[in-house]
Structure 1
């Protein structure tokens, strides 16, 4: 029987996940399909039940559902449980749904692929949502020792810092004033998304040249944050690598094979341009 997969979120029309996974299915001659499903927060529980009932083999979860979906799943991978966020769901042999988080590993893989390993550098993570949590825990797991988090609501940043067991929680204004302390700055909010607000999360006035600046948004490829950082002499890392690698890890969870990420990066760059 043909397998089918999905991505759920709000908004969802901008997502390139269907293009990516369907291209991999075709390339690898797998009889499967992948569709986008627009799910509002108030309908999340019903949507998960429907996906389970209708036999989805697995699905991805994007904003704003990465944390909210957890109570509606049957089981969690240890890393997803630790992160408190899920972006990949696998239908297991007994029909139950198990949640994983591939965001963090996908981000670190793409960061180091783009600029090499700089685990000695001090990191500033902007944002304290589901993606940010995943990245924070993965950074620590991969050996990045100094990770601070800035967020509009400082208490949310503080909660993650406490779980990490080290680092500082900052307001956006405090982070703006201390920007020159950081060797790696990661924009991990949805600001800059083609369907949302295009403003910057904070001023880059104190950004130092040669700082590594990454954004998790991949559509558009060059976000306002990255454009401004590049003007100020930063080394920029787009969100495309994270997107492709987190998708590839999810693909492996579903089907036991790791797809060709290099070819996919090129295909998506052509699309996004």
Structure 2
């Protein structure tokens, strides 16, 4: 890479951020298209976020990703938000137009594209069970409703959090039947048999953790299972899906697709098809991650 005075700088801010695979994916795309850009990680402690954003603005950084713990805190430091970022209440990508910084959330696009590419799943008219009610669940819910899901049920350990999520989006997405329940739904044969897609947006699956007493046998043979956790590649939930011959996928496709969407926002170019995902999978095959980029880009 020949870095010169005209080279545009892109990057990612987070704390920690050294483990992120976004530089690998983004720099591969820049090189493949012959763009004079470089993508670098910027470690930013929470107490220094405001100063860091001012610095990125002053230095003319062309755009950057945002990961934990800054996805929500950065909103008040930006000049504008995209519709998805405003709905979700979190930003994972920032674009620049002159001195103005606009926050976006490409997790929505990343999630729905991965469902289409990795599971060949048609969201329109589907019935979805969403596990979790955090930031990743908000992005998934927005993506599902925007794509025409008929019904989405949010299952969470803390009922109050799930109820807040439904209350936030029911007035926005009136065409979808939104409901809330506890994780006991995973033991409810009658509920599971009517689900077209089961999505895990929680951190369960990292570090060997698993849902208690889960049994996906009641799910229809045509149902799909999606786990946003991608390290390990085969989580206990996905192993259970395979046990019952259910088509399933982990979140690696989502990470790659959201990175592609961010790249296009910054450069107005599409990266070569499959490049980011192939680089990501190659890297995951040779190293352990400190965290999962669903929660830490």
| TM band (smaller chain) | 0.7 to 0.9
TM-score (norm 1): 0.88
Corresponding position of 1:72: 77
TM-score (norm 2): 0.81
Structure 2 residue ranges without an equivalent (≥5): 1-5, 171-176, 286-297
Structure 1 residue ranges without an equivalent (≥5): none
Contact 2:195/2:220 (8 A) holds in 1: no
Root-mean-square deviation (Å): 2.2
Contact 2:123/2:148 (8 A) holds in 1: no
Shift of 1:26: 0.7
Residue 100, structure 1, aligned to residue 123, structure 2: no
Corresponding position of 1:227: 239
For residues 140-199 of structure 1, what are the alpha-carbon distances to aligned partners after superposition, in whole Å with 9 as ceiling and x for unaligned?
111112111122322222222123214112222345434444221111123444xxx431
- The alpha-carbon distance between structure 1 residues 5 and 201, as it changes in their structure 2 partners (threshold 3 A), is farther
Corresponding position of 2:272: 260
Corresponding position of 1:198: 208
- Measured in 1, the distance between the counterparts of 2:71 and 2:258 equals 14
- Measured in 1, the distance between the counterparts of 2:187 and 2:77 equals 38
The total of aligned residue pairs comes to 269
* More contact order relative to length (CA 8 Å, sep ≥ 6): 2
- Measured in 2, the distance between the counterparts of 1:192 and 1:250 equals 26
- The alpha-carbon distance between structure 1 residues 204 and 175, as it changes in their structure 2 partners (threshold 3 A), is closer
- The alpha-carbon distance between structure 1 residues 10 and 132, as it changes in their structure 2 partners (threshold 3 A), is farther
- The alpha-carbon distance between structure 1 residues 243 and 204, as it changes in their structure 2 partners (threshold 3 A), is same
Contact 1:4/1:33 (8 A) holds in 2: yes
SS at match of 1:4: strand
Query: What is the aligned counterpart of 1:186 among 187, 199, 202?
Result: 199
Instruction: Between 52-61 and 137-146, report the one with greater CA deviation.
Output: 52-61
Contact 2:27/2:39 (8 A) holds in 1: yes
For residues 79-123 of structure 1, what are the alpha-carbon distances to aligned partners after superposition, in whole Å with 9 as ceiling and x for unaligned?
211221211111222x12110111112111110122221533311
Instruction: Between 30-39 and 4-13, report the one with greater CA deviation.
Output: 4-13
Larger of the two Rg values belongs to structure: 2
